[in-house]
Amino acid sequence: MKHVNLYEANDFSEGSFKRLLVHDSPYMKVLNFNFKAGQELPVHSHDIEGEVSLTVIEGEGEFLGKDGSTVPARAGDVVISQIAEPHGLRARTDLRLLVIIAPPI
């Protein structure tokens, strides 16, 4: 059993969002991205099978989708996207995001 507290294990950086690899196995990849207000994970996609879940632990912003679409992002929001489907996030306040990818890439 692996145990990580996201508030203790990762902080923020001025340059761009700060990435923490929490777990990587044959079953899933678990990451934590911390965004300072204004930082973003640009819309992207990978042409492979699988899904990615994005969970907002705290903060506010917008999920980014294809063709410039946006969906509000706030604490407790869970988005599930195909890895091949365009997805991203822009933070309006400091924001902590949990990212789980299966199968791992």
Where does this chain bind a copy of itself (CB under 8 A)?
1-8, 22-23, 25, 27-28, 30, 32, 49-51, 53, 55, 57, 63, 65, 71, 74-81, 85, 87, 96, 98, 100, 102-103
Half-sphere exposure of 2 (CA within 13 A, CB side): 9
Q: Which is nearer to a copy of itself, 6 or 37 (CB)?
A: 6
CB of 16 to a copy of itself, least distance (A): 21
Ranges assigned E (strand) in 8-59? 18-24, 29-35, 40-44, 51-58
Shortest Å distance, C-beta 103 to a copy of itself: 7
Closest by CA position to 105, among listed 8, 30, 14: 30
We find the least distance from the C-beta atom of residue 40 to a copy of itself, in angstroms, to be 17
Is the CB of residue 56 less than 8 Å from the CB of residue 41? Answer: no
